[in-house]
Amino acid sequence: MKKIKMGMIGGGIGAFIGDAHRRAARICNDFEMVGGVFDADYEKSQQFAKDEGIELDRCYESVDLLINNELKLPDEERIEVVSIVTPNSLHYPFAKKLLDNGFHVVCEKPMTMTIDEALDLEKTVSEKKLTFSLTHTYTGYPMVRQMRELIAQGVLGTIQRIDAQYYQGWINSIIHGPDSQITGIWRLEPENTGVSSCIGDIGVHAFNLIEYTTGLQVRKVLADLSPIKKGIRLDLDGNVLLRFDNGLKGVIRSTQVAAGEENNLAIGVYGSKASLKWSQENPNFLYLLSDSEPTKTYKPAHSYNSELAEAAHTMPMGHPEGIYEALANIYKGTAKSIRGESYDPGEYPTVHDGVRGMKFIHSVVNSNSKGNIWIDLS
């Protein structure tokens, strides 16, 4: 099948996220990266293009030049989809320009800086009838998808409690180490990252994972956030109480200053019949617990899994898969959408998930700033 021509904004030399996207696109084998704007420094962008074997005439100095020059090319030659892997403040303006000019978009989260921007993108995607994929990467793991299917089948009975956590420690050494600093890190700057650091960067993943796996929507939040150290303008730690419909409650615990923690994202959904638990650091294992039977362990590449989960593994049983493969599954679903093929709604997060994420982030920040009160996700 002919590969989809892909461009990228950001993600140049030394950028982990950009590299992850390129690897994922290669793993799913549906895309060919042919151009982009890889760095604000044009010389660095050109060097990156040379290193990647990309023609220099398709290494552009600005997004406007990319759009204008690509639209001059025949349809079969031009870039069809652009991945945006820049700091948060640039997501909306670049996505808006690309959508307005007929390009499909893959975007890192959080999708925008404000709720109004998110709603505008949702409207534009609907009007233009384009594909917009938001890379909540953890939804690409086979056992997360299996969790979603088991819950939809009613295996847990009535859901009674939902817990999710996302613990990291990378900022701890930066702000407390021998060369401690609180400036010059874009994720700690509101003008670049938005209204939140911890909740906006990782807490929103826990939120998305809850709504993705359960099919439920958070209706209200009550938050208690902390910047941890004087002089830091954004939250680095937070706890969020959740309320769903029918009196169901849950909690999200999130921090970027847990010394020694790496990427500890975990979720537990507890029902009247059974419970499910999954952790990102051991992603091949999904545990089903009950009061009456021994704990069951689900793993990828087995016929007992759902069709959605089985379509998501790339290796035979017993071969560990990780973050690149999970992101590749999102790219695979995105490719199906771009080509107009049928796909499961769980195959990639959409612009709607981006809107939900922004409502969650802003509601959490508002709850904290107003004295830790309940706030509706409007």
CATH number at residue 242: 3.30.360.10
Residues 37 and 102 in one domain: yes
Q: Kindly state whether residues 48 and 94 are assigned to the same domain.
A: yes
Q: What CATH number does the domain containing 55 carry?
A: 3.40.50.720
Q: Does residue 340 fall inside a structural domain?
A: no
Tokens of 148: 């979603």
Flag whether 19 is in a domain: yes
> Are 123 and 44 members of one domain?
yes
Q: How many domains does the chain have?
A: 2
**pLDDT of amino acid 247:** 87
Provide the residue type at 56 as one letter: L
User: Do 62 and 181 fall into the same domain?
Assistant: no
Which residues fall within 8 angstroms of residue 236, CB to CB, at 6 or more apart?
Answer: 171, 175, 197, 198, 226, 227, 228, 229, 255, 256, 257
Give yes or no: residues 105 and 154 share one domain: no
Regarding whether 145 and 67 lie in a shared domain, the answer is no
State the residue range of the domain holding 81: 4-137
Please give the model's pTM, rounded to 2 decimal places. 0.95
Q: Which residues contact 172 (CB under 8 A, 6 or more apart)?
A: 256, 257, 258, 259
User: What pLDDT, in 10s, does the model give residues 205-247?
Assistant: 999 999 999 999 999 999 999 999 988 999 999 999 999 988 8
Instruction: Specify the pLDDT at position 172.
Output: 92
Give the β-pairing of 249-255 and 286-289.
unpaired
Distance of CA 206 to the CA centre of its chain: 10
pLDDT at res. 181: 67
Task: Report pLDDT for 179.
Answer: 66
In a domain, 222, yes or no: yes
Low-confidence spans in the chain with pLDDT less than 50: none
